[in-house]
């Protein structure tokens, strides 16, 4: 196998369940340096950038992360997020929208900006959407609309240089159904785990896209991550 | 013509250009009472609710507007919004996303919550999206993703009672291309105005939907508003 040039990935949300899996996978590839961005440090990363505490000031968060980000990046992976349920009649509805927007849209916007400013040509930016948001989500309206906004961001970034990305860069959205996290096992102990996607499977796919531009779907693609009977398929949504 | 029962509309963003047109049109119908919600008062409305000053606290805005909102409503029309350009590499990109989310998503979320809490059965809630957001918007990424979030909110509200709306209520999105406002005339003086949609045309369509449930598209519909050679068509997007 050919030797690899040194590469650098930034994982936004790198101390969360999926983030730790992505950091861990990239750490198995000796030519990758990994920086984690999160509220807490991930000791497995080479370098950590601490997010300012909530409530978030969007511009301040972007500026502080950008200032702390190493000069050149080959991959920006945003796996920050969270889940909030609720419909429009709930007393906490507007709060649920605000929380979901902060968790998913703010993090994705900052990650997109870092990608635009720091990615090398042919770099990769991956944002995390949700398969559920391809349809109406009446029982989790705030979460659904925030992920729909992330999907639109990915599609816009797919325009490439006119969206502010460097030449040859690829923007992809990953749209999981249910990830097999300790938190989901705790709250849904009776679910069919064979339809949940292992974190390592997602991490390996993202790393593969980061390694090899020719392995990537078309820039701007929203990639459904669907697991059935323990087998996971990554399928770009038809436009 | 049959006499009409007294009806009450709340126009969120009622002091803006489109909001004033909607208020003015409903005022021509003697059985409608109109409440305007905005930062500034609209003297043409029967009643005004003042929004708290920016920067917005989402929950506080929702609670204060809800507390000031009259008991029962037949229509909630959210025409608050704004426009911000910019791509992911702009220094102000993250700010542009935050601004667009505050202008379009926050206002729509509060309006949806008021609709859920206060609409009568068979009531109407109209939110304002953008035809541009049906496609990628690399030159106005924040605006585009915020309107995409509003579209998803409309689609979720289309689920009806499971989304928190009262029985028989209809949620619609209006997706204009360019509205013929004084501001747009000022900044695009050389445009083809025959492809711009007159505010009164939108106001009349919204009032017609408010008046007559049988005139409405299916709940959850995103209705494109396209004007060609001075003729405007309102066409639900195919799902």
Sequence-separated (6 or more) residues with CB below 8 Å from residue A151: A129, A133, A134, A173, A175, A222, B148
Q: What is the pLDDT of residue A57?
A: 82
Does position B56 have pLDDT exceeding 70, yes or no?
no
Query: Given a cut of 60, is residue B230 above it in pLDDT?
Result: yes
> A91 to chain B nearest CA, in Å?
8
Q: Is residue A1 predicted with pLDDT exceeding 50?
A: no
pLDDT tens profile B28-50: 999 999 999 999 999 999 999 99
pLDDT value at residue B188: 93
From the list A12, A143, A209, A234, the catalytic residue is: A143
Nearest residue to A170 (alpha-carbon basis) of A132, A130, A134, A222: A222
Active site residue A12: no
Of A87, A156, A220, the CB nearest to B164: A87
| Percent of chain B residues topping a pLDDT of 90 | 90
Q: So what's the ipTM on this one? A: 0.96
Residue of A nearest to B171 (CA): A88
Interface test with A, best of B56, B62, B138, B143 (most A CBs within 10 A): B138
CA distances from A202 to A78, A131, A222 (A): 13, 14, 14
Domains along the sequence of chain B with CATH: 7-173 (3.40.50.720)
Helix (H, G, I), strand (E, B) or coil at B147: helix
* CB pair distance less than 8 Å for B136 and A150: no
Closest CA to B127 of B80, B173, B165, B169: B173
Residue in chain A nearest B163 by alpha carbon: A138
Of the partner residues A110, A137, A151, the one whose CB lies closest to the CB of residue B94: A110
The whole-number pLDDT of residue B43 equals 97
Nearest to B136 among A110, A113, A159 (CB): A159
Please report, in angstroms and rounded to a whole number, the separation of the first and last CA atoms in chain A.
37
* CA gap A38, A54 in Å, rounded: 12
Q: What is the pLDDT of residue B54?
A: 67
Distance from CA of B50 to the nearest CA of A (A): 18
Chain A nearest-CA residue for B112: A88
Q: Work out the angle at residue B224's Cα, subtended by the Cα atoms of residues B13 and B221, and round it to the nearest 5 degrees.
A: 85
CA distances to B26, B27, B120, B196, B203 from B208, rounded to whole Å, are 10, 13, 17, 21, 9
pLDDT, tens digit, for every residue of A65-106? Answer: 999 998 899 999 999 988 999 999 999 999 999 999 999 999
* Residue to substitute from A88, A106, A159, interface B, most B β-carbons within 10 A: A88
For the ranges A49-53, A170-174, A195-199, B75-79, the lowest mean pLDDT is seen at: A49-53
b/e sequence B143-168, b meaning 16+ C-beta within 10 Å: bbbbbbbbbbbbbbbbbbeebbbbee
Q: pLDDT tens digits, residue range A142-171?
A: 999 999 999 999 999 999 999 999 999 999
**DSSP state for residue A134 in the 8-state scheme:** G
Question: Is residue A3 exposed (0-12), middle (13-18) or buried (19+ Cβ within 10 Å)?
Answer: exposed
Mean pLDDT of chain A: 95
Average pLDDT of chain B, as a whole number: 95
pLDDT band at A3 (very low <50, low <70, confident <90, very high): low
Question: What residues of B are in contact with residue A90 (Cβ under 8 Å)?
Answer: 164
Inter-chain residue contact B94 with A158, CB threshold 8 Å: no
Please give the model's pTM, rounded to 2 decimal places.
0.96
Q: What is the pLDDT of residues A5-47, one digit of tens each?
A: 899 999 999 999 999 999 999 999 999 999 999 999 999 999 9
Give the pLDDT confidence score for residue B1 in this predicted structure: 44
CA distance B145 to A104: 12
């Amino acid at each position: 196998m050919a030797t690899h040039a040194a590469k650098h990935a930034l994982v936004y949300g790198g101390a969360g369940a999926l983030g730790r899996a992505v950091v861990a996978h990239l750490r198995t590839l000796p030519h990758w340096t990994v920086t984690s961005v999160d509220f807490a440090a991930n000791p497995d990363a080479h370098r950590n950038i601490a997010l300012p505490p909530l409530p978030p000031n969007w511009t301040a968060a972007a500026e502080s992360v950008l200032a702390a980000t190493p000069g050149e990046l080959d991959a920006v992976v945003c796996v920050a997020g969270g889940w909030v349920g609720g419909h429009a009649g709930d007393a906490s509805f507007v709060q649920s929208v605000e929380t979901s927007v902060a968790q998913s849209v703010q993090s994705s916007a900052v990650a997109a900006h870092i990608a635009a400013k720091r990615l090398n040509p042919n770099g990769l930016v991956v944002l995390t959407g949700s398969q559920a948001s391809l349809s109406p989500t009446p029982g989790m309206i705030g979460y659904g609309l925030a992920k729909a906004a992330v999907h639109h961001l990915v599609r816009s970034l797919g325009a490439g240089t006119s969206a502010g990305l460097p030449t040859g860069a690829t923007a992809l959205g990953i749209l999981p159904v249910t990830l097999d996290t300790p938190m989901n096992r705790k709250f849904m102990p009776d679910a069919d785990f064979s339809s949940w996607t292992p974190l390592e499977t997602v991490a390996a796919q993202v790393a593969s896209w980061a390694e090899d531009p020719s392995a990537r779907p078309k820039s701007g693609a929203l990639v459904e991550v669907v697991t059935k009977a323990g087998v996971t398929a990554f399928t770009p949504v038809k436009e």
